[in-house]
Amino acid sequence: MRNKNKEYQYTNPPTMHDVAHVAGVSQMTVSRVLRGTGYVSDDVLKRVKDAAKSIGYVHNRLAGGMSKYDNPLIGVVVPSLQNRVFTEVLSGISDTLNKHNLRPVFGVSEYSQELEEEIVFDLLSWRPRGLILAGLEHTDGLRRIIEQTGVKTAEIMDIDGDALSASFGISQKEAGEQMAEYLLNKGYRNFAYIAWLDERAKKRFNAFKAYIENHGGVISQTRISQKLLSMKEGRELTAEVLSGSDRPEVIYYANDDLAAGGLMHCITENIKVPEDVALAGFNGLSFLEALPVQITTTKTPRYEIGVEAANWIINSQTDGKKPETYRFESKLIIGQTT
Amino acid sequence: MRNKNKEYQYTNPPTMHDVAHVAGVSQMTVSRVLRGTGYVSDDVLKRVKDAAKSIGYVHNRLAGGMSKYDNPLIGVVVPSLQNRVFTEVLSGISDTLNKHNLRPVFGVSEYSQELEEEIVFDLLSWRPRGLILAGLEHTDGLRRIIEQTGVKTAEIMDIDGDALSASFGISQKEAGEQMAEYLLNKGYRNFAYIAWLDERAKKRFNAFKAYIENHGGVISQTRISQKLLSMKEGRELTAEVLSGSDRPEVIYYANDDLAAGGLMHCITENIKVPEDVALAGFNGLSFLEALPVQITTTKTPRYEIGVEAANWIINSQTDGKKPETYRFESKLIIGQTT
DNA sequence: AAAATAGATGTTTGCGCAAACATAAGTCAA
DNA sequence: TTGACTTATGTTTGCGCAAACATCTATTTT
């Protein structure tokens, strides 16, 4: 075996055995060198590393992953990549995983629970160390799979409901009520609501509506977009809402993009904000700071949620514990539009 | 073996062998049922599927992946998730891969070639079917690894340079020249440039600058942000550029977010666009349509680039072919800001 | 009726790695 | 100088699956 023959015909792609042959050691020694475990002499260390580099050896995790059970993959499923909220959470997740040399494998569910289930089932075939999902609403099938496999699962963005094992997010209910309370205190009574109803927005709005109606206010109009939520959509729906005879005093939007679109409509049409109509958004995206007028909104710690969810996957023990809730605070940002 | 004993104590997590035991068939038959290949009777088919579901069996790709060589993972590395351009490309990639039941494993390089190399090396340990990278600029180490492993690699967003094996994008050079030509024809001669210099923007600007200077124009100011490119940044830098004594006639921005920020500054400060200063962006993001004024920009087919790159990975043969270039057309969108 | 074929299932084997164990040489204390 | 450890390496084994091949039965063809 101590044969430094550089002409060795290794298989394609090269294996540890090929590296071992070139370096004149055993396969196991190569394994030790490449993982940095156990005892290895300096001489052998160098020979092996050189050999690996010279033949272009790349570790094969499919093989090693089989014998042990410690996989550096984390499954991540988000509803959309078009929504900044999710890309910011993803950023937090990605940055955190990077630090630990873990990789996200991921899927986009298009806001469909069925597709989410399919994707998760597929992701589980990679035996990921953990799973990060958006929201608390999932199919029964998904819940069952997760229980049966016992995969460590973090649910992000929402904490109002039953978590599988840990949820990370703000209270949508509280955020809705907080905004309602603020707007009522400002004296507004006639409200409109513009949204695209994803689960989180739905919870927020229900709390908002209940609070308003219990305190002498009224939701006189609601507009639910079927398309995705964007500035353009917000602008169009705002035009609709304001064109009617019963003009609301305030429009509450399901997110900042919609609200910013509404503001653009008002600027274009010379509608005074907040005198003619007040506007409020949700999320507290940073682009709001660049607008001519600061929009009132609720700021949510999206990046941090991603970071903490990822950290939890990495560090926590979940041996039969009860579901945990990691509550993040949302913050009312009072701008010039209310 | 024909033993339908439901009390069978299977290992945790369950394997095909466990399913086989419960269903009273051989492991190989289970494999056939679950993959839908070969001959299986209806009776056995049902028994196996039921057994798999009842014990919560999830396919283990780490095992199967070893014996064959056909992996449903695709490695994807993008510079950032904060930049909409990349999330839109990712959407195209993700949608396309979804259709073929392939999954992206992915990493964010933070615009660092060194980090990109590290991530790619790590991704390769999963023996992905292909790799999608952003841009044509990579470390020598990365190039070497890709050659040695022969992994099928698509490079997206840029085609002005040497591709490893296939590049998908627009000609940044041409886009820069096109905008320069248009603005010169409009009569503008004094230009400012605001950017965050990533490789693509750099190429675009160099072509833009050369064209301007060769045709009697002058770039009187350039501002390079060290932070990420955002509306807020665009607004601040625009304020700076316009505060000097030598006011440019036009500001060319490296992307639409910056340009929109500039527009917001002008709206706020009552600066007339394009009379006092003209503005031009890049990308043609859809949120521009919601702004009070249409910004002149260059529209790029980001989603399509993602789709085509993914399709190429899925379908093409790359046995020693020369590098291919898939050229997409960018389109000048003339708005009201020039 | 014999031969050929389609249909349904089982058995053996090996993928590339790392855990577990085995060996062997060198170092140190008593 | 012996035994106990430390350091450095090798050997065997099995992870879970799918390819390759082997059987065997029921049809169909000639």
The pLDDT tens digits for B13-41 are 899 999 999 999 999 999 999 999 989 99
CB contact under 8 A, A232 and B104: no
Only one residue has tokens 């003339």, namely: B334
Residue B61 · residue B69 · CB < 8 Å: no
Q: Which pLDDT tens digit goes with each residue over A248-281?
A: 999 999 999 999 999 999 999 999 999 999 999 9
Task: Write the pLDDT tens digit of every residue in B30-80.
Answer: 999 999 998 999 999 999 999 999 999 999 988 876 666 678 899 999 999
What backbone phi and psi angles, to 5 degrees, belong to B163?
A: -85, 150
pLDDT category at B245 given cuts 50, 70, 90 is confident
φ/ψ region of A190 (left if φ > 0, alpha if ψ in -120 to 50, else beta) reads beta
Query: Which residue in this structure is represented by tokens 């609200």?
Result: A259
Cβ-based neighbours of B7, under 8 Å, separated by 6 or more: none
CA distance A28 to A35: 11
Q: What's the pLDDT band for B2 if we cut at 50, 70, 90?
A: very low
Average pLDDT of chain A is 92
Nearest to A58 among B58, B125, B260 (CB): B125
Cβ contact, residue pair A121, B58, below 8 Å: yes
Element (H, E) at A35: helix A27-35
Q: Is A141 on the interface with B (CB under 8 A)?
A: no
**Tokens found for residue A233:** 């959509």
**B-chain residue closest to A148, CA distance:** B56
The least confident of A96-100, A242-246, B133-137, B265-269 is A242-246
- Band (pLDDT 50/70/90 cuts) for residue B215 is very high
Asked if B145 contacts B124 with a C-beta cutoff of 8 angstroms, the reply is yes
**How many Cα atoms within 13 Å fall on the side-chain side of residue A335?**
25
Is the pLDDT at A97 greater than 50, yes or no? Answer: yes
d(C-alpha B129, C-alpha B126), whole Å: 9
Q: Distance between CA atoms of B155 and B137, rounded to whole angstroms? A: 10
Q: Work out if B94's Cβ lies within 7 angstroms of strand C.
A: no
> Which residues, listed in sequence order, are joined to residue B76 by a DSSP beta bridge?
B106, B132
Q: Which residue has the higher pLDDT, A69 or B234?
A: B234
- pTM for the whole structure: 0.92
Q: Which of A62, A73, A268 sits opposite B127 (nearest CB)?
A: A62
**H-only helix segments in chain B:** 16-23, 27-35, 42-55, 61-67, 84-99, 113-124, 140-149, 172-185, 199-214, 231-243, 256-269, 302-315
Specify the pLDDT at position B316. 86
List the B278-280 sheet strands across, edge first: B218-224, B190-195, B250-253, B278-280
Evaluate if the CB of A67 falls below 7 Å from strand D: yes
Q: Distance between CA atoms of B98 and B100, rounded to whole angstroms?
A: 5
Rounded-to-integer distance, Cα B199 and Cα A1, Å? 49
**Across B245-256, average pLDDT:** 95
**Closest alpha carbon to C1' of C6, residue:** B39
- Is residue B199 over pLDDT 90? no
Please report, rounded to a whole number, the percentage of residues in chain A having pLDDT higher than 90.
Answer: 82
Residue type, B151: V
| Matching residue, tokens 């955002």 | B230
Beta strands in A277-321 (DSSP E): 278-280, 297-299
Residue B248 CB coordination number (10 Å):
21
A21 touches strand D (CB under 7 A): no
Q: Which of the nucleotides in strand D have any atom less than 7 Å away from a protein CB atom?
A: 7-12, 14-20
pLDDT of A244 reads: 85
B63, B107, B287: residue with CB nearest A66:
B63
pLDDT of residue B86: 95
**Region A86-94 average pLDDT:** 96
Q: What is the pLDDT of residues A7-19, one digit of tens each?
A: 455 567 899 999 9
Q: What is the pLDDT of residue B3?
A: 35
Which A residues, 147 through 206, put their C-beta within 8 Å of a C-beta on chain B?
148-149
* C16 closest protein residue (CA to C1'): A63
